[in-house]
Each structure stands twice: as structure tokens, then as C-alpha cells.
Amino acid sequence: MEEEKKEEKVVNTEELKSETSNTVNQVKDTIKNVDFKKDTAETKGFITEMFKNPLGKLKELVDESSGKSFKYAVILLVVWTVAVLLNAIFSRMNLWGYYWYSNLWSIVKSTIAPILSVVVMSIILFVMNKKNKKPLTTVITAVTAAKLPTVIASVVSLLTLIGSGISIITSPFAKLCNIISVVLFFFASKNLLAEEENSKYIKKFVIVEAIFYAVYILLGLLGIYLV
């Protein structure tokens, strides 16, 4: 029995390494072959479909075998990262623009938080999924799609660069978007874990969230706060 468990652990580790390597290569290819005009239009269409039928679109993403939607996930992550980067830089600027430079490491940590959040949650789901194994790229696509409201909130928060008073609107909007993202993630992970029984799925969902927040605490000690 112990040998079987060890063998399963080795297989899972090797599988994760292989999937991670494949995902990194696909990200490189996506960025390398990006067609700004075409891909922007397609990503807008992807976002529109998410607005029209979010649960149906999430199910479609999980069942998709071509992996073509991974490109949209990468673009959304880039947009999210840029929005967070701009917010981080301008929030740390003084009148002459020098203050942000002395906080460069703090800015870097804030900027990588969105990507780390998606990667951590995706790896947790990938490892936990034993019934209906999906490629890591598919998991990342579904998790990123669920985070779409949070991405939008990050972009909208750039309005505070015009005037801090706008935060009266952007702050509650961001909270609402985060709540919607949690709901979407609930259904995205249910599709990924292929668990039909609600009672069993809720237990798995709690485990997923518990692991995520354990990582959240560990990274928080380094000053990196997942979102």
C-alpha cells in the first residue's frame, strides 16, 4: 500500500512538472504570436459571452479540448497585471515621481500577486482533480474566466488616478466584483472537479479554499498578498 502511494505521488509530481512546462511554453507562444487587433477583438467577444451566459461559458471552457481559449486567459492576465502595476506605481509616487522607485520591490510583489493567485488556485485544482483530469491550461483558463469581474474592477480602479474621491464608487464596485468572482469560481471549480453531488463538492471546495488561504498566509509573510 505504501509503495502504491509513493508511486502515485511520483506520478503526480512528474505530471505536474510536465503540465507546468507545457503551460509555460504555451504562454510564450501566445505572447510571441499575438495579433493585437485580431486577438483584442476575439477577447472582447470572449468577455461578452461571459457576460451573457457566465455559467454556460465556464462549462464550455472546462469541456473545451482545443485549448484555443487559453489565449484569452493569457490576455486577461496581462491586462490585470498591467492595471495592478499602474495602480502600484502611481499610488507610491510623490509630486516629483521619485517615491515609487524606492518602493520597487513592493511594486513587484503587488504586480505578481494576480498571476500567482491564478497559478496557485489552478495547481490546487489540477492536483485535486482525479476524476476528470484536465490539462493545466484548461484549469488556468477557467480560473481566469472566473476572475473576470476582479480584472474589470482592477481596470476601473485606474480611475482613482484622476482623483482619489472616485474611490467612493470604485471601492464598493471592487468588493461587488470580488464577490461575483467567488461565485463564478465556485461553479468553475465544480465543473473542473466533475462532482455532481453538492454535499461532496462543498467539502472539496472548502478544502480547495483552505489550501489556498494557507498559501495566502505563507506568501503574506513575504509581503505578497494573493487576490
CA nearest to 79, candidates 108, 105, 54, 43? 43
pLDDT, position 213: 94
So what's the pLDDT on residue 11? 47
Q: Alpha-carbon distance 155 to 83, whole Å? A: 5
Helical ranges in 33-98 per DSSP H:
36-52, 54-63, 70-91
Q: How confident is the model at residue 40, as a pLDDT?
A: 83
Per-residue model confidence (pLDDT) at position 120: 94
Q: Which of 142, 151, 137 is nearest to 66 (CA)?
A: 137
Residue with cell 502611481: 90
C-alpha cell of residue 150: 476582479
Please tell me the predicted confidence (pLDDT) of residue 146.
96
As a whole number of angstroms, the longest Cα–Cα distance in the chain is 66
- The reported pLDDT for the residue numbered 13 is 77
Residue 101: predicted pLDDT: 60
**What pTM value is reported for the model?**
0.85
Q: In terms of Cα–Cα distance, which of 136, 121, 128 is closest to 62?
A: 136
Q: Where do the structural domains in the chain lie, given as residue ranges? A: 2-220
Walk along the chain (227 residues) in steps of 10 and give the mean pLDDT of each run.
44 72 77 76 91 94 86 92 88 59 77 93 90 86 95 92 82 94 94 86 92 93 87
